[in-house]
């Protein structure tokens, strides 16, 4: 498509001619598949066995950031939520709430990313909706995706399966997404660009389930609130202690520097292509090797801690210098320090 | 930023050696105060408090700029932020501190125009881009942030920016230390001086304090190795009956400080009485914009907001005793109950450098269960 300076108007969401044009020339054109082609109110398909279902809304600002945009995020996020249930994503819905005045050109770019991410995760977008709200009533574009996935036959992912002695693995370096967003949002210029880790983790999860099945006790992707929040949620919910080794937590060098400079703890920063695994201790070394074999992020996969009988409900970290401290639940957004 | 430079000062082996040396040196109980909130944060975050010998008690000083900024200043900032013609710029951790009725963050949710910036020069940029708005930078902090804030005023003057001003609430470390030392309840035996403050101001202000109050002052950095070295140096002085000024942080702090930065401060600011949250007014304990630059002084430009009625006491908050090292956060009846980082009663629970928030985040739960 040629570059256009066109912008969304209320008419694009009214269901009339402009809506049709937009759907024809943009959405259907880019996302095309047999289900969308029917242009019906919903999609009809067959699935059997255990299914997983999830939904998420995406409101990120800025829309475009190093490593991705709101489009990949909206696909990967929902695919990953299904993966955390032990399921392979099959079908997604896709809904847009667009603000009057939003650039159609940017919309086009986002759609292309959506298509690419969906192809990569081997998932079909089968139904959707587009609404346009008046200027000032939205923030350019909001996306909602829901997804249905087929649960892996070996999967039994349930926090209730977590046992004392379980090892906790992380699939790659932490804090990249949050710091990429922050560096763009705040106009911080670092020597090298920090890229978001937004990606589907489906293949990694499926590989683990193929191989280790029931030994994979629990999965969770540490998105908003980061690793610290997820660990705390699980410790509290299951009334188990979690012990973590600070030295084992992988953080990319430039991400660590940015965190250091802003006084932000990488453990509390969002991730979009990284997940935590609670695995039976005996299987942990082999599971780690499997994760590490998935390039490029897998190299830095690590066993970061374990589930312990002591301090139930709490996450305790062994610090770099050998001290111990509590990793608390975060309160509100992390704010850069003054000095 | 080169992380190797930092990791040297976080070396577990060096830490272990220093701890052993402190253990071997200390024979009596000593109470040390780290002045700066950054030091408090590092002590707690790295788990150092639990590693020190029992004979050494660390108390946490007033050096958290967010914590000591008085309510009256926050109320002024909130009132200004709510004006339609104003863009209020602030450092990040200042925006959540409660004033009498609300914080800057709450003001934003009510339609106030608030921007979080990383440097006062960002605020200058915003002022140039928004000539129809008055851009106010909330200039808080100790001697460390004063040079950059003064520089912003000089820059605005150079650019003839008539829509930029600073709302100044700058405070100074030595008068606060003196206020603590002269308190009849004072029990502190030694200070870890604030490294970054001294990198600007130098050491000269501390000699008279060490001499008058017979107290060791060791200017100290922020990494685990720095802090333990600082503690060791202070303990050595105490055990030997010496009370003088030493510089642990020599890789950053020169005895004279940064003369150029001092000159910039001198040019723009003058020393004045300042109110400290939880402590009260300390004479000659802060900076004020000189008359020469009053066109860039928000208090001068918007003098009407100065007379907002302030409800002075934080209900039940013992910030004053915390900031003077008389009480520890866990000794407050509201700690972790009525007062949490989500619902802070007082400022030390807000900033990550505030003693209460540091305890809440990193050590309180552990200490009560082990």
Q: What number of helices (H) and strands (E) belong to chain A?
A: 10, 13
* A3-21 tens-digit pLDDT: 566 888 888 877 777 777 7
* A203-242 tens-digit pLDDT: 999 999 999 999 999 999 999 899 999 999 999 999 999 9
Which CATH number is correct for A159-326, 3.90.320.10, 3.90.650.10, 3.30.70.330, 3.40.50.300? 3.90.650.10
What's chain A's average pLDDT? 91
- Put simply, whether B164 touches A (Cβ < 8 Å) is no
Please give the backbone phi and psi of residue B183, each rounded to the nearest 5 degrees, phi first.
-70, 140
Cα separation, A60 vs A65, in Å, equals 10
CATH class of domain segment(s) B67-173+258-306: alpha beta
- Secondary structure E strands in chain A: 51-58, 64-65, 68-69, 87-99, 124-133, 141-151, 167-170, 216-220, 241-245, 276-279, 302-308, 315-318, 324-326
Residues of chain A contacting B10 with CB distance shorter than 8 Å: 320-321
Confidence of residue B278 (pLDDT cuts 50, 70, 90): confident
Closest CA to B174 of B284, B37, B273, B60: B284
Ramachandran bin of A271, using left for φ above 0, alpha for ψ from -120 to 50, beta for the remaining angles: beta
Cα separation, B149 vs B271, in Å, equals 15
Nearest chain B residue to A190, by CA: B1
Q: What is the pLDDT, as a whole number, of residue B309?
A: 56
Q: CB A325 to CB B93 under 8 A? A: no
How many percent of chain B have pLDDT more than 70? 93
Q: CB B92 to CB A335 under 8 A? A: yes
Q: What is the pLDDT, as a whole number, of residue B363?
A: 59
Q: What is the pLDDT, as a whole number, of residue A309?
A: 96
- Put simply, whether B233 touches A (Cβ < 8 Å) is no
Confidence of residue B314 (pLDDT cuts 50, 70, 90): low
Please give the backbone phi and psi of residue A247, each rounded to the nearest 5 degrees, phi first.
-70, -20
Helix (H) / strand (E) containing A80: helix A70-84
Confidence of residue B2 (pLDDT cuts 50, 70, 90): low
Q: What is the pLDDT, as a whole number, of residue A21?
A: 79
Q: Are B10 and B220 in contact (CB under 8 A)?
A: no
- At A108 the three-state DSSP class reads helix
Residues of chain A contacting B144 with CB distance shorter than 8 Å: 339
Please give the backbone phi and psi of residue A163, each rounded to the nearest 5 degrees, phi first.
-120, 155
Q: In three state form, how does the secondary structure of chain B look? A: CCHHHHHHHHCHHHHHHHHHHHHHHCCCCEEEEEEEHHHHHHHHHCCCCCCCCCCEEEEEEEECHHHHCCHHHHHHHHHHHCCCCEEEEECHHHCCCCCCCCCHHHHHHCCCCEEECCCHHHHHHHHHHCCCCEEEEEEEECCCCHHHHHHHHHHHHHCCCCCEEEEEEEECHHHHHHHHHCCCCCCCCEEEEEHHHHHHHCCCCHHHHHHHHCCCEEEECCCHHHHHHHHHHHHHHHHHCCCCEEECCCCCCCCCCCHHHHHHHHHHEEEEEEEECCCEEEEEEEEEECHHHHHHEHHHHCHHHHHCCCCCCCCCCCHHHHHCCCCCHHHCCCECCCECCCCCCCHHHCCCCCHHHHHHHHCHHHHHHC
- CATH 3.40.50.11740 in chain B, residues? 67-173+258-306
Q: Is the pLDDT of residue A330 over 80?
A: no
The predicted model gives B266-276 an average pLDDT of 95
Q: What is the pLDDT, as a whole number, of residue B4?
A: 66
CA A167 from centre of chain: 22
- Put simply, whether B6 touches A (Cβ < 8 Å) is yes
Closest CA to A126 of A20, A31, A12, A56: A31
Q: Which of the two residues, A136 and B367, has the higher pLDDT score?
A: A136
Question: Could you tell me the two tokens for B254?
Answer: 């020169």
* Burial class (CB within 10 angstroms; exposed 0-12, middle 13-18, buried 19+) of A112: middle
Residues of chain A contacting B15 with CB distance shorter than 8 Å: 321-322
The predicted model gives A39-55 an average pLDDT of 93
Question: Could you tell me the two tokens for A193?
Answer: 């660009």
Write out residues 265-294 of A within 8 Å (CB-CB) of B. 265
- Put simply, whether A320 touches B (Cβ < 8 Å) is yes
Q: Are A215 and A280 in contact (CB under 8 A)?
A: yes
How big is chain A by its Cα radius of gyration, in Å? 21
CB pairs under 8 A between A and B: 110
Q: Are A6 and A105 in contact (CB under 8 A)?
A: yes
* A120-138 tens-digit pLDDT: 999 999 999 988 999 989 9
The predicted model gives A240-250 an average pLDDT of 96
- Put simply, whether B336 touches A (Cβ < 8 Å) is no
Q: What is the pLDDT, as a whole number, of residue B311?
A: 52
Q: How far is B241 from chain A (nearest CA, A)?
A: 30
* B142-169 tens-digit pLDDT: 999 999 999 999 999 999 999 999 999 9
B342 closest CB neighbour out of A261, A320, A331? A331
Residues of chain B contacting A338 with CB distance shorter than 8 Å: 65-66, 91-94, 140-141, 145, 351
Please give the backbone phi and psi of residue B21, each rounded to the nearest 5 degrees, phi first.
-70, -40
- Put simply, whether B142 touches A (Cβ < 8 Å) is yes
Residue keyed to tokens 């990120």? A60
Cα separation, B351 vs B37, in Å, equals 9
Confidence of residue B101 (pLDDT cuts 50, 70, 90): confident
Q: Is the pLDDT of residue B313 over 60?
A: no
Q: CB A338 to CB B352 under 8 A? A: no
Q: CB B16 to CB A322 under 8 A? A: yes
Domain A10-151 in CATH 3.30.1330.10? The answer is: yes
Q: Are A81 and A147 in contact (CB under 8 A)?
A: yes
pTM, full prediction: 0.83
Q: Which one of A14-23, A257-266, B18-27, B325-334 scores highest in mean pLDDT?
A: B18-27
Q: How far is A337 from chain B (nearest CA, A)?
A: 6
Q: CB A323 to CB B50 under 8 A? A: yes
What's chain B's average pLDDT? 90
* B228-260 tens-digit pLDDT: 999 999 999 999 999 999 999 999 999 999 999
Confidence of residue B369 (pLDDT cuts 50, 70, 90): very low
Confidence of residue B370 (pLDDT cuts 50, 70, 90): very low
- At A229 the three-state DSSP class reads helix
Question: Could you tell me the two tokens for B341?
Answer: 């980082």
Question: Could you tell me the two tokens for B270?
Answer: 């003058």
CA A160 from centre of chain: 23
Closest CA to A250 of A175, A149, A138: A175
- ipTM surpasses 0.85: no
Question: Could you tell me the two tokens for A291?
Answer: 């994760």
Closest CA to B7 of A262, A326, A247: A247
Nearest chain A residue to B51, by CA: A323
- At A46 the three-state DSSP class reads coil
Of A219-233, A243-257, B351-365, give the lowest mean pLDDT range.
Answer: B351-365
- Put simply, whether B109 touches A (Cβ < 8 Å) is no
* A159-187 tens-digit pLDDT: 999 999 999 999 999 999 999 988 887 66
The predicted model gives B179-208 an average pLDDT of 94
- CATH 3.40.50.11750 in chain B, residues? 11-55+176-247
Which CATH number is correct for B11-55+176-247, 3.40.50.11750, 1.10.8.10, 3.20.20.30, 3.30.300.30? 3.40.50.11750
Using the 8-state DSSP alphabet, how is residue A125 labeled? Answer: E
| Helix A104-121 × helix A70-84 angle, to 10° | 30
Cα separation, A99 vs A13, in Å, equals 10
Residue B266: partners with Cβ closer than 8 Å, 6 or more residues away: none
Give the domain ranges of chain A: 10-151, 159-326
Of A48-57, B21-30, B111-120, give the lowest mean pLDDT range.
Answer: B111-120
Residue B337: partners with Cβ closer than 8 Å, 6 or more residues away: none
Q: How far is A240 from chain B (nearest CA, A)?
A: 14
Q: CB B1 to CB A325 under 8 A? A: no
Confidence of residue B351 (pLDDT cuts 50, 70, 90): confident
Q: Is the pLDDT of residue B368 over 50?
A: no
Q: How far is B87 from chain A (nearest CA, A)?
A: 16
């Amino acid at each position: 498509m040629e570059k256009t300076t066109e912008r969304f108007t209320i008419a694009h969401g009214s269901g009339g001619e402009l809506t049709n044009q937009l759907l024809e020339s943009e959405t259907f054109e880019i996302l095309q598949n047999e289900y969308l082609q029917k242009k019906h109110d919903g999609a009809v398909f067959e699935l059997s066995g255990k299914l997983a279902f999830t939904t998420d809304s995406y409101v990120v600002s800025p829309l475009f950031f190093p490593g991705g945009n709101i489009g990949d995020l909206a696909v990967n996020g929902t695919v990953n939520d299904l993966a955390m249930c032990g399921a392979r994503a099959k079908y997604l819905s896709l809904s847009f709430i667009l603000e009057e005045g939003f650039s159609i050109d940017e919309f086009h770019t986002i759609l292309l990313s959506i298509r690419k991410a969906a192809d990569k995760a081997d998932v079909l977008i089968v139904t959707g909706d587009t609404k346009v709200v008046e200027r000032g009533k939205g923030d350019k574009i909001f996306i909602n995706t829901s997804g249905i996935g087929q649960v892996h036959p070996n999967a039994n992912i349930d926090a209730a399966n977590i046992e004392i002695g379980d090892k906790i693995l992380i699939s790659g370096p932490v804090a990249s997404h949050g710091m990429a967003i922050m560096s763009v949002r705040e106009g911080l210029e670092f020597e090298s660009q920090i890229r978001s880790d937004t990606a589907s983790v489906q293949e990694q999860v499926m590989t683990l389930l193929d191989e280790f099945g029931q030994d994979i006790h629990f999965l969770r992707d540490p998105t908003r609130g980061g690793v610290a929040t997820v660990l705390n949620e699980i410790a509290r919910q299951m009334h188990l202690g979690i012990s973590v080794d600070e030295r084992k937590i992988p953080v990319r060098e430039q991400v660590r520097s940015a965190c250091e400079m802003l006084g932000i703890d990488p453990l509390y920063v969002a991730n979009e292509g990284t997940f935590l695994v609670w695995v039976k201790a005996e299987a942990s070394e082999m599971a780690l090797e499997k994760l590490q074999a998935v390039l490029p992020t897998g190299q830095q996969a690590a066993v970061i801690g374990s589930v312990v009988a002591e301090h139930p409900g709490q996450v305790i970290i062994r610090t770099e210098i050998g001290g111990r401290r509590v990793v608390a639940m975060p309160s509100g957004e992390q704010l850069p320090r003054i000095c | 930023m080169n992380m190797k430079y930092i990791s040297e000062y976080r070396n577990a082996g060096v830490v272990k050696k220093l701890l052993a040396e402190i253990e071997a040196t200390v024979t009596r109980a000593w109470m040390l105060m780290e002045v700066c909130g950054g030091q408090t944060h590092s002590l707690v975050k790295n788990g150092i408090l639990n590693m020190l010998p029992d004979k050494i008690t660390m108390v946490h000083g007033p050096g958290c700029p967010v914590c000591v900024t008085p309510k009256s200043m926050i109320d002024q900032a909130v009132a200004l932020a709510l004006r339609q013609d104003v863009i209020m710029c602030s450092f990040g951790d200042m925006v959540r501190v409660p004033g009498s009725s609300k914080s800057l963050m709450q003001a934003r949710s009510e339609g106030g125009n608030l921007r979080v910036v990383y440097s006062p020069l960002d605020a200058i940029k915003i002022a140039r881009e928004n000539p129809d708005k008055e851009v106010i930078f909330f200039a808080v902090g100790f001697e460390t942030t004063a040079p950059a804030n003064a520089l912003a005023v000089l820059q605005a003057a150079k650019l003839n920016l008539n829509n930029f001003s600073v709302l100044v609430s700058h405070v100074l470390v030595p008068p606060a230390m003196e206020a603590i030392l002269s308190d009849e309840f004072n029990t502190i035996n030694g200070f870890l001086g604030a490294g970054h403050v001294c990198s600007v101001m130098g050491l000269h202000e501390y000699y008279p304090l060490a001499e008058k109050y017979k107290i060791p002052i060791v200017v100290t950095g922020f990494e685990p190795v720095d802090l333990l070295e600082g503690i060791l140096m202070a303990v050595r002085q105490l055990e030997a009956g010496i009370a003088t000024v030493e510089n642990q942080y020599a890789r950053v702090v020169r005895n004279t400080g940064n003369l150029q930065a001092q000159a910039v401060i001198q040019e723009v600011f003058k020393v004045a009485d300042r109110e400290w949250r939880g402590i009260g007014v300390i004479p000659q304990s802060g900076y004020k914009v000189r008359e020469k630059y009053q066109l860039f002084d928000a208090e001068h430009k918007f003098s009407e907001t100065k007379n907002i009625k302030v409800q002075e006491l934080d209900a039940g908050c013992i910030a004053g005793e915390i900031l003077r090292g008389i009480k520890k956060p866990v000794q407050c009846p509201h700690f972790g109950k009525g007062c949490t980082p989500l619902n802070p009663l007082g400022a030390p629970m807000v900033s990550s450098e505030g003693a209460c928030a540091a305890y809440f985040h990193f050590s309180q739960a552990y200490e009560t269960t082990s």
